[in-house]
């Protein structure tokens, strides 16, 4: 048994802000980085190009900076490359996620697991 959790970036929740950058959109950014194309990343993740493009634009709007540099297609096709700031954000997100996973596991083992193992 394990304790599950989700993390995401959100506008000020006191003002009723919604989440705009969580696991799904981070997964999309990782896929773009690997595939070198928004279209290919969307295909790999099983989402429409329109949804992927909308998700990226929404995140960029909330963050106030560009995440993906896009080059329109032609004979060779288009490409998408993460900005340096997007790469930094992905690295930071992974570090935070790893640290939180460690903390959650430690706290689960310390507080909840003894109760569950008390048969």
Q: Residue holding tokens 């996620």?
A: 97
DSSP H or E run through 83: none
What residue numbers bound the domain in which 37 lies? 8-116
Extended beta strands in 1-119, E state: 8-10, 19-22, 68-71, 79-82
CATH number for the domain including 17? 1.10.10.10
Q: How confident is the model over 62-93, as pLDDT tens digits?
A: 999 999 998 876 666 679 999 999 999 999 99
Q: Specify if 68 maps to a domain.
A: yes
This prediction has a pTM of 0.84
In-domain check, residue 2: no
Q: Residues 103-111: what's their mean pLDDT?
A: 95
How far is Cα 41 from Cα 70, in angstroms, rounded to an integer? 13
Asked if residue 47 belongs to a domain, the reply is yes
Give yes or no for residue 60 having a pLDDT over 80.
yes
Number of structural domains in the chain: 1
């Amino acid at each position: 048994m394990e304790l599950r959790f989700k993390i995401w970036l959100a506008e000020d929740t006191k003002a009723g802000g919604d989440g705009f950058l969580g696991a799904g959109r981070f997964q999309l950014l990782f896929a773009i980085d690997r595939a070198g194309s928004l279209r290919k990343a969307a295909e790999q993740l099983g989402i429409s190009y329109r949804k992927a493009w909308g998700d990226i634009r929404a995140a960029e709007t909330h963050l106030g900076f560009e995440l993906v540099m896009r080059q329109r297609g032609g004979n060779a096709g288009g490409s998408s490359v993460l900005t340096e700031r997007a790469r930094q954000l992905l690295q930071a997100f992974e570090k935070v996620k790893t640290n939180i996973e460690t903390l959650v596991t430690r706290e689960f083992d310390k507080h909840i697991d003894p109760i569950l193992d008390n048969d």
